[in-house]
Amino acid sequence: MPTSALGPRVLLRRLREVMAGPEATQDRLDRIAKLIASNMVAEVCSVYVLRDGGILELYATEGLRREAVHLTKLKTGEGLVGTIAKEAVLLNLSEAQRHPAFKYLPETGEEIYNSFLGVPILRAGQTIGVLVVQNQASRHYSEEEEEVLQTTAMVLAEVIASGELAEVTRDVAVDIGHIKSHQLTGEVLADGIALGHVVLHEPRIVVGNLIAESIPDEQLRLEEAIDRLREQVDSLIARTEFGRGGEHDEVLETIRMFAHDRGWMRRMREVVETGLTAEAAVERVQSDNRARMQRQADPYLRERMHDIDDLANRLLRLLTDQTETAAQGDLPRDSIIVARNMGPAELLDYDRSKLRAVLLEEAAGTSHVAIVARALGVPALGQIEGLVDLVDTGDPIIVDATNAEVHIRPGPHIQEAYAEKVKLYAHRQAKYDKLRDLPAVTADGLKISLNINAGLLVDLPHLADSGADGIGLYRTELQFMVRQTFPRQGEQTSHYRAILEAAGDKPVVFRSLDIGSDKMLPYFHSQREENPAMGWRALRIALDRPALFRLQMRALLDAAAGKELRLMFPMVAEVDEFLRARQFVEKERAFLAARGHELPESIKLGIMVEVPSIIWRLDQLLPMLDFISIGSNDLMQFLFASDRGHPRLAGRYDTLSPAILSVIRQIVDRAEAHDVPLNLCGEMASQPLEAMALIGLGVKSISMAPAAIGPVKSMVLKLDKSQISQFIEPLLSRPDQSIRGDLEQFARANSIPV
């Protein structure tokens, strides 16, 4: 049985000589094909390069007819070569003609060759060509030969990508596996449309130095890098912010296990032995792992393979000194950041002026990074399965966060359609800008107070930009969530002071810490809960952890010295909880007064109405309150007993149901009876149609995402309050699941933009 005549080391040495030579790329490819054929005792060695339109063109051959070079072309997926490119897999066949994908190519004269070994030529995880050897005798190539061919394919990838062929491969545009156009869907984290180019948050590492000058040196480099990788993983696990116990531990321990995985280490050491550099060896083994990952159907095992892939990337960064995320590099002006996931602080690292959108494979709407994306006003989608493996830096991409869609490398039709859509979007925004300084008054003269929801300092410019009346909900927990440790009292005070200063004369309603449930702090651990939304959260934690609560109250009172402090408590379920919370405020006020601190000019206290039980206590509670705010997100979740974050329940119940609207109506009645101002700050206020219904129910103040102020205001200006009230009243007693259709009709009939 013929086998590698000179062994991989000699082959690699010869390849290095060819690489260093002065020839043009075509000559180099010819010499390489010859070298491989003789080294592997193969009668044929052919190199196919992927060109425009996903066409694989025969670029060099030793053994097939010369005339076929640049003539023989296969589509991706066509024939054995096309299959290798499409699936990024190796094919080792003793009877090539018997393979179902075999395609007869008369111009090559290859019909006399029975055995066939072909491997993809990969660069940074993408197929850019195929390398094949063939023999007349029918035989199965050995594992060692497979290894040699794969290693050689890596070197070829360098030749193809660095010579004059680079232009060709870079422009390979459509129609191959991960190079063709794709449309994916995800979950909307922040609304908007963006056209731009992909920037991988963790750039793929391109290994340039492939062939070892000294194998012992490379062995040493690999061992050192493995040691450093293990240290990194250990210190990651030791970092206190992850706390102890729970899911984190399991995940991190699995990663530690992989960092010590003997099979993985052995494979990389073996490849270094063949004469590749340490980084090239890591990449070689990583390619094998990726190919297996693509074939793996079991999602659990695929996930574990991802873990190894991530570790291999770490190792590559260590070996090539590439440690940065894209945020530190040069960004294109229309960057669309793509990542598996990232922390909120990492997103804040990006230059906002160049950031057009953010796409994440894993994050959900309630994640911290989603909250920051909304605060930055950057369109964002999460839960986009398989995204990172499908894109590469520089790919054109369209993000439609109004329809939860991503178009990767879109065709010309989609690009044109979106260019139009963006214009319309911008036109609409410009119309809203014109309304900015107009008060939101209905056609029959009722002033509606439109406020924004905020939670970070970066939100503050939106207050002026949107022309909102104030901040109706300041979610104080966000400052806690974007950090790795509890903010100290001084830090809290200066944060709240900065908010009040930036808001100027406009009122700000602070909400005390609403942590727990889906808003976890990495450094604050509670026990695992069966029903976290109904668990130990918000005011419940505050009352049980007085030190934490007291600190926040003191910081707020101090920050509002000489001004008005408006403060509300989340998740109040009974009157007593409010009374206890109020006592904290009283005590801290006395504490500061005793120490000579200047106090707020006035303190207005309120609650969020979001736990249904409190609705039946409003007559007792309202006389003690300065205002209330309906948290329709949680109120709806509890009234329908329907998890607000559950993907299967999303859309099952309608906010515009007679049930929800009747409850809101009842709350409005009680607030009016006690002459206590009422606001609504859940997501429903952001939708013009929903906001129209709320005004019909007597709600005069709402609070929403800053981007919604314009659309809601243009609705208010056209609305007749008494007309909508008359229209909606009888609908509340209907047995229907929703009155959305009736409201839409009303809006249409009265030319109200919703």
| C-beta separation of 375 from 191 below 8 A | no
Q: Which stretch binds ligand PEP (CB under 6 A): 20-28, 129-137, 209-217, 631-639?
A: 631-639
| C-beta separation of 410 from 398 below 8 A | yes
Smallest distance from the beta carbon of 684 to Mg ion, in angstroms? 12
Q: How far apart are CA 406 and CA 400, in angstroms?
A: 6
Question: Would you count residue 634 as binding Mg ion (CB under 5 A)?
Answer: yes
Q: Which stretch binds Mg ion (CB under 5 A): 208-216, 472-480, 625-633, 656-664?
A: 625-633
Burial category of 412 from C-beta neighbours within 10 Å (exposed 0-12, middle 13-18, buried 19 and up)? exposed
Helix (H) or strand (E) holding 569: strand 564-569
| C-beta separation of 573 from 561 below 8 A | no
Smallest distance from the beta carbon of 59 to ligand PEP, in angstroms? 58
178 vs 475, beta carbon nearer ligand PEP: 475
Contact pick of 522, 631, 706, 710 for Mg ion (by CB under 5 A)? 631
Binding-site size, ligand PEP (CB under 6 A): 10
The two three-digit tokens of residue 131, written as one number: 């390398």
Q: How far apart are CA 118 and CA 133, in angstroms?
A: 6
Contact pick of 682, 688, 696, 710 for ligand PEP (by CB under 6 A)? 682
What one-letter code names the amino acid at 433?
A: D
Q: 573 by DSSP, 3-state: which?
A: coil
Smallest distance from the beta carbon of 197 to ligand PEP, in angstroms? 34
322 vs 633, beta carbon nearer ligand PEP: 633
125 vs 677, beta carbon nearer ligand PEP: 677
The number of residues in the chain equals 754
Strand ranges across the sheet with 335-339: 182-185, 405-408, 396-400, 193-200, 335-339, 355-360, 380-382, 187-190
Question: Would you count residue 455 as binding Mg ion (CB under 5 A)?
Answer: no
Among ligand PEP, Mg ion, none, what binds residue 475 when CB lies within 5 to 8 Å by partner kind? ligand PEP
Cα 183–chain centre separation: 16
User: Pick from 337, 572, 370: which is nearest to 455 by CA?
Assistant: 370
Contact pick of 631, 706, 710, 711 for ligand PEP (by CB under 6 A)? 631
Write each residue from 596 to 615 as x if it is in contact with Mg ion (CB under 5 A), else as -, in one continuous string: --------------x-----
43 vs 634, beta carbon nearer Mg ion: 634
Q: Which stretch binds ligand PEP (CB under 6 A): 192-200, 287-295, 411-419, 627-635?
A: 627-635
Smallest distance from the beta carbon of 606 to ligand PEP, in angstroms? 13
List of E strands, 146-289: 182-185, 187-190, 193-200
Cα pseudo-dihedral 644, 719, 453, 189, rounded to 10? 50
Among ligand PEP, Mg ion, none, what binds residue 541 when CB lies within 5 to 8 Å by partner kind? none
Write each residue from 565 to 604 as x if it is in contact with ligand PEP (CB under 6 A), else as -, in one continuous string: ----------------------------------------
| Backbone torsions φ then ψ of 59, nearest 5 degrees | -105, -30
List the interface residues with ligand PEP, window 11-70 (CB under 6 A).
none
The two three-digit tokens of residue 164, written as one number: 């004059």
The DSSP string of 130-166 is EEEEEESS--PPPHHHHHHHHHHHHHHHHHHHHSTTH
| C-beta separation of 209 from 162 below 8 A | no
Q: Which stretch binds Mg ion (CB under 5 A): 14-22, 108-116, 628-636, 694-702?
A: 628-636
Among ligand PEP, Mg ion, none, what binds residue 39 when CB lies within 5 to 8 Å by partner kind? none
Helix (H) or strand (E) holding 375: helix 368-376
| C-beta separation of 88 from 294 below 8 A | yes
Write each residue from 710 to 749 as x if it is in contact with Mg ion (CB under 5 A), else as -, in one continuous string: ----------------------------------------
User: Pick from 645, 677, 644, 676: which is nearest to 660 by CA?
Assistant: 644
45 vs 664, beta carbon nearer ligand PEP: 664
Query: Which residue lies nearest Mg ion, judged by its C-beta?
Result: 634
Contact pick of 632, 655, 687, 714 for ligand PEP (by CB under 6 A)? 632
Smallest distance from the beta carbon of 635 to Mg ion, in angstroms? 8
Q: How far apart are CA 564 and CA 526, in angstroms?
A: 34
400 vs 634, beta carbon nearer Mg ion: 634
Beta bridge partners of 603: 565
Q: Which stretch binds ligand PEP (CB under 6 A): 43-51, 274-282, 373-381, 625-633?
A: 625-633
Q: Which stretch binds Mg ion (CB under 5 A): 184-192, 325-333, 630-638, 727-735?
A: 630-638
Smallest distance from the beta carbon of 455 to Mg ion, in angstroms? 12
Q: Strands 470-475 and 449-454, how do they pair?
A: parallel
User: Pick from 461, 462, 564, 569: which is nearest to 514 by CA?
Assistant: 569
Smallest distance from the beta carbon of 159 to ligand PEP, in angstroms? 56
List the interface residues with ligand PEP, window 472-491 (CB under 6 A).
473, 475
54 vs 570, beta carbon nearer Mg ion: 570
Among Mg ion, ligand PEP, none, what binds residue 410 when CB lies within 5 to 8 Å by partner kind? none
Write each residue from 422 to 451 as x if it is in contact with ligand PEP (CB under 6 A), else as -, in one continuous string: ------------------------------
For helices 709-718 and 412-435, the axis angle rounded to 10 degrees is 60
Smallest distance from the beta carbon of 568 to ligand PEP, in angstroms? 10
Among Mg ion, ligand PEP, none, what binds residue 681 when CB lies within 5 to 8 Å by partner kind? ligand PEP
Among ligand PEP, Mg ion, none, what binds residue 632 when CB lies within 5 to 8 Å by partner kind? ligand PEP
Smallest distance from the beta carbon of 682 to ligand PEP, in angstroms? 3
Q: How far apart are CA 63 and CA 118, in angstroms?
A: 15
Contact pick of 117, 311, 315, 681 for ligand PEP (by CB under 6 A)? 681
Smallest distance from the beta carbon of 543 to ligand PEP, in angstroms? 18
Sorted by sequence, the CB contacts under 8 Å of residue 648 that are 6+ apart come out as none
Q: How many CB atoms lie within 10 A of CB 553?
A: 24
Among ligand PEP, Mg ion, none, what binds residue 361 when CB lies within 5 to 8 Å by partner kind? none
The DSSP string of 319-372 is HHT----GGGSPPPTTEEEEES---HHHHHTS-GGGEEEEEESS--TTSHHHHH
Q: Which stretch binds ligand PEP (CB under 6 A): 90-98, 110-118, 325-333, 626-634?
A: 626-634
Among ligand PEP, Mg ion, none, what binds residue 670 when CB lies within 5 to 8 Å by partner kind? none
Q: Which stretch binds ligand PEP (CB under 6 A): 28-36, 172-180, 630-638, 712-720?
A: 630-638
Smallest distance from the beta carbon of 533 to Mg ion, in angstroms? 9
Contact pick of 142, 296, 526, 633 for ligand PEP (by CB under 6 A)? 633
Read off the DSSP letter of residue 684.
G
Question: Would you count residue 514 as binding ligand PEP (CB under 6 A)?
Answer: yes
| Backbone torsions φ then ψ of 171, nearest 5 degrees | -85, -5
152 vs 517, beta carbon nearer Mg ion: 517
Helix (H) or strand (E) holding 604: strand 602-609
Q: Which stretch binds ligand PEP (CB under 6 A): 180-188, 417-425, 629-637, 727-735?
A: 629-637
Vertex 410: Cα angle to 406 and 412 (nearest 5): 140
| Backbone torsions φ then ψ of 262, nearest 5 degrees | -65, -40
Contact pick of 147, 558, 588, 634 for ligand PEP (by CB under 6 A)? 634
Chain contacts with ligand PEP (rule: CB under 6 A) = 473, 475, 514, 610, 631-634, 681-682
Chain contacts with Mg ion (rule: CB under 5 A) = 610, 631, 634
